[in-house]
Amino acid sequence: MRARWRGSRGDRLMTKLRSLLIDPEDQNLMTKSIQALDARYDLSKKMAQESGVEDILMQMVGRLAAAFGRLSNLNGLRILDIACGSNTSRAPASIYINTPFGEKTIGGASKGYTAQFEPWFCRLLLELGANPVGIDLGNLEGEAFEHYGVDLGKIGALDFLPAHSFDAIQDSRLFGSPEFTAQFPNRADRLKVAQEIRRQEQRLLKVDGILIHSDAEALMQ
């Protein structure tokens, strides 16, 4: 581990993430992946500036561990992240986070932009050997994973993606984002979008595919 992590928030994050994984190879893969995210995206600096970044990463790894067990099972899988976040995402007033280490509500960034809503899930999946596909209307220019700018408020916006073409799917950021709430202030309209996203998830998943997490499904309950 690089010296910059020692005694830092990053060191604590690494310890917690490794504790979620039983297999030593998975633990080493997670360490290398987090180090790569730090080198490429200044992860440790962003965690120091916004504590919520750490919580969001713990949530993401917890979901992956629950859905796939071994991180090696992610290798080569095509995984769709709907509303993956972007480099221009604004922070909501607060964000509810449910991690393997507890639930909490964290405040948004004071200046509007937030590193919490950068596309960390797709970035992490790429480091873990998966083939992530990110969907978001915000700026994803320069990201190494496959991505598309899509207005998820439009019916049929994901029709361009082939049916049964994904091994796993998640959506977890759309309905709490300030941009989406401003576009659809009425709950009835948000529910229509949730129904469309859930329809698309069912269409796009392979027969034996995994739904990692869906805020759309939760909103419809």
- DSSP for 59-126 reads HHHHHHHHHHSSGGGGTT-EEEEET---TTPBPPSEEEEEETTEEEEEEPPTTSB-GGGSSHHHHHHH
Q: Report whether 166 contacts 204 (CB < 8 A).
A: yes
| Residue 45 confidence (pLDDT) above 80 | yes
Q: Average pLDDT, stretch 91-105?
A: 63
| Residue 145 confidence (pLDDT) above 50 | yes
| Residue 4 confidence (pLDDT) above 70 | no
Instruction: Tell me the range of 60-64, 111-115, 175-179 where mean pLDDT is highest.
Output: 60-64
Of residues 110 and 35, which shows the higher confidence score? 35
Tell me the pLDDT tens digit for each residue of 152-197: 999 999 999 999 999 999 998 888 787 888 888 898 998 999 999 9
pLDDT value of residue 204: 98
What are the boundaries of each domain within the chain? 3-220
At what angle are helices 24-41 and 9-19 packed, to 10 degrees?
150
Q: Average pLDDT, stretch 133-145?
A: 95
Q: The pTM is what?
A: 0.90
pLDDT value of residue 18: 87
| Residue 36 confidence (pLDDT) above 50 | yes
Instruction: Categorize the per-residue pLDDT at 77 as very low, low, confident or very high, splitting at 50, 70 and 90.
Output: very high
Assigned CATH for 3-220: 3.40.50
| Residue 87 confidence (pLDDT) above 60 | yes
Instruction: Categorize the per-residue pLDDT at 48 as very low, low, confident or very high, splitting at 50, 70 and 90.
Output: confident
pLDDT value of residue 3: 43
Q: Report whether 34 contacts 17 (CB < 8 A).
A: yes
